[in-house]
Amino acid sequence: MKNTVFLLVFFMVVCQISKAQKSFKFYKKQDSIDYNHYRMIMTKGYQYTVIDGILRKELVDTTYQDSENFIGYDSASKLLREIPKFEYYIRKQNEQYTKGDQLKKTNRYDTITHLSFEGRDLKKLPVLKLLQCKNLKEIELVNTSVKKIPWLLNWSIFGLDSLQTVRIYNHTPNKQIKFKKNTNVTELVYRDSPYSPIPKDFHKLENVKEIDFARNDFRKDAKFHLDKLKNLKHLNLSRNNIDLKNLAEDTVNNLKYIVLSFNNLTAIPKEIGFLKDLVDLQFAENDIKSDLIHPALGSLKNLKVLSFYKNDLDSLPPFIFDLKNLAELDLYYNRIEKIPNELGHLKNLEKFYVAHNQLFSIPESIGELKSLKEFYIHHNRISYLPESIGNLKKITDFHIHNNYFQGFPEFVLNFDKLEDLDISFNEIHKFPPELLNLNHLKYLWMRGITFEASGKDEAKELKETLETLQKNGVKISIELDQKITQKSEETELQLVD
């Protein structure tokens, strides 16, 4: 269920970011000066900081108190947004990890499994102390100046063969961090380090399976030499500015998962076809255009998940429908007006997200997607759906809100496994009592709907249906002032919290 998943992910992100402070990298000194100036205009000279979880307000520049001397808030906000900048986060140590300075205060090294170091003054890891941590699984470096990950950590002769993960955040820019040969580490995280270059010789982590290089502002000329990592399966390069052609030519063929969100991509080159083993490919939040996607994308026969969330697609290239193993296709927030009838070729599709587009209809072939479970078409211009959609017996999540439907979609009653239904903000004025037969229904969204009944009996039936659904455990969402309107009077809808 996409809404629930989104809320959960959002909560997790907020929790993580609450432990970090947002910062920006500016490409020109004047941009930094202008940014601070516009921000001071917007806050009237106040600076807001969070200390121990409490938001504190402090006046730092009284000259901004007289707003008549400056442009208005909206103008300052607009100019601030237009300044070229790269957003990243100043990280804090993971509170669940043992702090590096505690190594001097303990002799129970065997109990340490997760270890964190922090501070720019740290340029070298205390190798001898680390070698006593026989059960160490993860090392975290936050805002350090460490120059290299020593080769001694790889020697099983010292008993330190449990180290699996290295996490590096906000690495200082004075020198490129260097890796030595290591056969134990399987995960490398190097994030939020926009002032530092790509780690040197990280490909010497011979058995690494997962690499997270997100939010580093790596540029188009970056060379990763990923072809040397024969065991690499997962690669996250979101929030960089990489060249997809160079990356594809430089990447191991057996890569399974790759995230390329927020990379200012406008096209997908033919070199994407080199990545034959890809299972999950994420292009969210780019500016990719339909006519700039090379047909080689259609050759990725193992692909199961494909995301073009928030791009600039105005149509679906025909070779997309050659991806017969697709289980999830995310087309949220594009400009698509029509879905070809070839949609029916995607027999294994389980999740189809095409909300926030410009669709007027869905093809008859939708009924051939017998595996479909989640179907989101809200925020379009759709007024009807083909009868074949009633064949989708596995549907669990069906969101059609903010469209132009006239009347309740009766085919919904065929969705025996339906759990989440949203029909809000349509021209729907009544609903059938047969909703009670949907035994798996958990969520029913009917906001912005004016309920109408032909008489008192029908009004009573509508109200009793909602009340019974709620007694059965269905969570119902309606507006606080929604009523059932009938010819002679109005019936209040009062649902129990």
Q: What is the pLDDT of residues 216-234, one digit of tens each?
A: 999 888 888 898 899 999 9
Residue partners of 37: CB distance under 8 A and separation at least 6? none
Q: Give the bridge partners for 26, in sequence order.
A: 85
pLDDT one-digit tens code per residue, 268-302: 999 999 999 999 999 999 999 999 999 999 999 99
Q: Give the helix/strand (H/E) hosting 336.
A: none
Instruction: Report which of 272, 219, 225 is spatially closest to residue 252, judged by C-alpha positions.
Output: 225
Could you give the CA distance from residue 235 to residue 213 in angstroms, rounded to a whole number?
8
Residue-range domain boundaries for the chain:
94-186, 187-492
The pLDDT value given to residue 253: 81
**Numbers of helices and strands, H then E, in the chain:** 6, 26
Strand ranges for 37-164 from DSSP E: 46-51, 54-59, 85-90, 98-99, 114-118, 138-142, 148-149
The pLDDT value given to residue 487: 57
Instruction: Please give the residue that has the higher pLDDT: either 51 or 192.
Output: 192
Alpha helices for 228-277 (secondary structure H) = 244-249
Strand ranges for 336-378 from DSSP E: 351-353, 374-376
Band of pLDDT at residue 16, cut at 50, 70 and 90: very low
Helix pair 29-43, 73-82: axis angle to 10 deg: 150
CA 313 to chain centre: 19
pLDDT one-digit tens code per residue, 346-395: 999 999 999 999 999 999 999 999 999 999 999 999 999 999 999 999 99
Residue partners of 139: CB distance under 8 A and separation at least 6? 115, 116, 117, 125, 130, 163, 165, 166, 167
The Cα-based distances of 238 to 97, 212, 260 in angstroms read: 26, 9, 5
Q: What percent of the chain has pLDDT over 70?
A: 91
pLDDT one-digit tens code per residue, 458-484: 888 888 999 999 999 999 998 766 666
pLDDT one-digit tens code per residue, 409-448: 999 999 999 999 999 999 999 899 999 999 999 999 999 9
Q: How many CB atoms lie within 10 A of CB 236?
A: 20
Yes or no: say if 236 and 212 are a contact pair by the CB < 8 Å rule.
Answer: yes
- The sign of the torsion formed by the CA atoms of 424, 416, 418, 455 equals positive
DSSP assignment, residue 199? P
The CATH homologous superfamily for domain 187-492 is Ribonuclease Inhibitor (3.80.10.10)
Q: Which amino acid is at 129?
A: K
